[in-house]
Amino acid sequence: MQALGLEQLDVIIVTGDAYVDHPAFGAAMVGRYVQSLGCTVGIIAMPDVKNPADFTALGAPRYFFGVTAGNVDSMLSLFTAQKKPRSDDPYVPGGRAGVRPQRATIAYCNALRQAFSGAPIVIGGVEASLRRIVHYDFWSDSLRQPILLDAKADLLAYGMAEHPLRAIVARCKRGEPIGGMLDIPGTAVRLGKNALDAVAADPKQRFVRLPSFEEIQQSRAAFSQMTRLFYENPEAAFLQECSTLGVLVNKPAEPLTQGEIDRIYELPFSYRPHPSYKQAVPAYEQIKDSVTVVRGCFGGCNFCGLGAHQGKIIQSRSKDSVVREIRKRSQLPGWKGIVSDLGGPTANMFSLSCRRPKDGKPCTRRSCLAPSVCSFLQTGQSAFAELIRAVCGLDMVKHVSINSGVRMDLALLWPEIIEIVAKKATGGQLSVAPEYLARAVLFAMGKPEETGWQRFEELFASASARAGKQQYLVPYFIAGHPGSTQSDARELGEYLRRRGIKARNVQEYIPIPMTVSCSMYATGEDPFTGKKVPVTVKLSEVRHQKDLIMWWQDQQPRLHHDRRGARR
């Protein structure tokens, strides 16, 4: 700041992650974007909540503090599915565990309130986004009110948040207080008693009223009703009361246009960790050569928070933008000609869209693929094929992989993509997610009853053979999901044993806030049908289901896997 002649920054971002100036890191993406809006931006990375000086080092911002727990929910970063402390944190230099506090968004806001009592605070990121309404907290086995109320922040920007941030910055420049910004799409607002009464009584307000915190505490049916209303009204605003306070969740922001997403990913990133770090940041080492090409997911899996966070509308970059980024990065020190991933949430959703008539009625399907493929879904994956060919054809590129994986049932709707991925974009292994075998469990997961795993495997093996390559699928499974039983896990394990598949990527189910599966876990019922769903709540039984799926460990020393598949 002294070198730049700055006495005060416009925006200061506080993050639980190390600062890595790479578009795969949320704080960097937000920082570069807000900078592109004409603001000066500072970043406080990994502050110690016990040390006030960490939060006051850059002074108070002119406009607001932006607070995020980091790329991953802080409780997921800190604890395993067995609620035991993790031994590492890949988003911290050296992978040191325990650097970020529990419920980091709340902890950082509390520290900022102590240091700067009146400073405006905007929270965001996946932790805040998936807690914008009343939610079940797995780690405390309790219901919690919307995070805005616990964090005592002024505003929450949910989702990827570029459009909300643009509106917030524009209004700040006009002198508007953040506490009065009640109508920005893609935000949630904390309401005091007077504001709550005024919003509730305003006939111009259009919102869906969710059951209150008190109603949900008293009734399992009210929790299910909240989940059902949230998912059946994807384009609506919501109002939820909590005692004398409330939260107004405005309707979602419009998705980015291709031109907008191109410009965002071509901002002047250095693609490097901050030079002050003496140790490597493991998460950066894993994704440093990856290129994000798509956002959003229309898969609608019940256990996944992507739909509630990034949305189901696919937002894709242009082929030219991706090529420009790779050309730029090839000029940086350390380039080895490897693109470790061309992807996003689901790589082969790149450039896909909906042909539904624009009749003004919102689509209420949670998934475009389950229980059957929507007739309006455009499923031809030629654009993704062309992208792979274009990147593979660059002189500075030696090899391309699709490490974010592909959706098998979607690929089977346009099998040519399997041939292209096997021939040009697989580095020996390709990640796929059959998740389970039993149809009842797949239904509870929001997956098609037939995932297409066996047919996909046959086509992939044939394509790999024609390409002269020995390549394998790496299947991913979830143990202990609502709807699964010990007998289901045993059946899956026996199926894998018969086929000689030693599954290593088996995750013990963790209820992610605001997901349909979390609602099932908390209530024991399907929120849309009211039917009872068997739930495994004993952690030892969830572990037993995992052991049944990992049948091959019976003859070997036990190996346990964390969320990234790292063997322990």
91 HSE (CA, 13 A, CB side)? 27
Overall average pLDDT of the 244-250 stretch: 96
Instruction: Show the tokens assigned to 3.
Output: 């070198």
Tens digit of pLDDT for each residue in 318-335?
999 999 999 999 999 999
Tell whether the torsion through CA atoms of 514, 516, 522 and 523 is positive or negative: positive
CB 410 within 8 A of CB 369: yes
Instruction: Show the tokens assigned to 23.
Output: 């578009």
Provide the pairing of β-strand 208-209 with 338-339.
Answer: unpaired
End-to-end CA distance of the chain: 44
Tens digit of pLDDT for each residue in 448-495?
988 899 999 999 999 999 999 999 999 999 999 999 999 999 999 999
Tell whether the torsion through CA atoms of 254, 256, 258 and 260 is positive or negative: positive
Task: Report pLDDT for 362.
Answer: 82
Task: Report pLDDT for 565.
Answer: 39
Phi-psi group of 351: left, alpha or beta (phi > 0 → left; psi -120 to 50 → alpha; rest → beta): left
Residues with Cβ < 8 Å from 223, sequence gap 6 or more? Answer: 134, 136, 143, 211, 216, 519, 522, 523, 527
CB 22 within 8 A of CB 269: yes
Average pLDDT along the chain: 94
- Does the pLDDT of residue 561 top 70, yes or no? no
Nearest one of 10, 187, 144, 18 to 89, comparing CA atoms: 18
Overall average pLDDT of the 299-304 stretch: 96
Can you give the pTM of this predicted structure? Answer: 0.94
Tens digit of pLDDT for each residue in 392-422?
999 999 999 999 889 999 999 999 999 999 9
Proportion of the chain above pLDDT 90, given as a percent: 91
Proportion of the chain above pLDDT 70, given as a percent: 98
Task: Report pLDDT for 405.
Answer: 85
pLDDT band at 559 (very low <50, low <70, confident <90, very high): very low
3-state secondary structure of 170: helix
How many other C-beta atoms are found inside a 10 Å radius of the C-beta of residue 361? Answer: 9
Task: Report pLDDT for 399.
Answer: 96
Task: Report pLDDT for 566.
Answer: 38
Task: Report pLDDT for 490.
Answer: 97
Residues with Cβ < 8 Å from 306, sequence gap 6 or more? Answer: 296, 297, 299, 345
Overall average pLDDT of the 503-517 stretch: 96
As beta bridge partners, residue 271 has none
- Does the pLDDT of residue 60 top 60, yes or no? yes
Cα 535–Cα 539–Cα 541 angle in degrees, nearest 5: 70
Task: Report pLDDT for 556.
Answer: 53
Overall average pLDDT of the 239-261 stretch: 96
Strand segments (E) across 467-513:
472-479, 505-508
Overall average pLDDT of the 519-537 stretch: 97
Nearest one of 58, 41, 157 to 115, comparing CA atoms: 58
pLDDT band at 260 (very low <50, low <70, confident <90, very high): very high
Task: Report pLDDT for 207.
Answer: 94
CB 362 within 8 A of CB 356: no
CA 19 from chain centre, in angstroms, equals 19
- Does the pLDDT of residue 352 top 60, yes or no? yes
Task: Report pLDDT for 415.
Answer: 97
Overall average pLDDT of the 117-141 stretch: 97
Question: What are the chain's domains?
Answer: 11-191 (3.40.50.2300), 289-555 (3.80.30.20)
CA separation for the pair 271, 283 (Å, rounded): 13
Overall average pLDDT of the 33-52 stretch: 98
Task: Report pLDDT for 361.
Answer: 81
CA separation for the pair 319, 358 (Å, rounded): 27
- Does the pLDDT of residue 263 top 60, yes or no? yes
CA separation for the pair 547, 195 (Å, rounded): 52
Task: Report pLDDT for 563.
Answer: 41
Overall average pLDDT of the 271-286 stretch: 96
Instruction: Show the tokens assigned to 88.
Output: 């590492």
Task: Report pLDDT for 154.
Answer: 96
Task: Indicate the Cα dihedral angle 421, 423, 427, 430, nearest 10°.
Answer: 40
pLDDT band at 568 (very low <50, low <70, confident <90, very high): very low
CA separation for the pair 380, 349 (Å, rounded): 10
- Does the pLDDT of residue 112 top 90, yes or no? yes
Task: Report pLDDT for 416.
Answer: 98
CA separation for the pair 311, 314 (Å, rounded): 8
Task: Report pLDDT for 532.
Answer: 97
Cα 290–Cα 295–Cα 301 angle in degrees, nearest 5: 110
CA 480 from chain centre, in angstroms, equals 21
CA separation for the pair 457, 45 (Å, rounded): 43
As beta bridge partners, residue 142 has 137
Nearest one of 532, 454, 523, 534 to 487, comparing CA atoms: 534
Tens digit of pLDDT for each residue in 176-234?
999 899 999 999 999 999 989 888 888 788 899 999 999 999 999 999 999 999 999 99
Task: Report pLDDT for 312.
Answer: 92
The stretches of 425-538 forming alpha helices (DSSP H) are 439-445, 453-466, 486-499, 516-523
pLDDT band at 562 (very low <50, low <70, confident <90, very high): very low
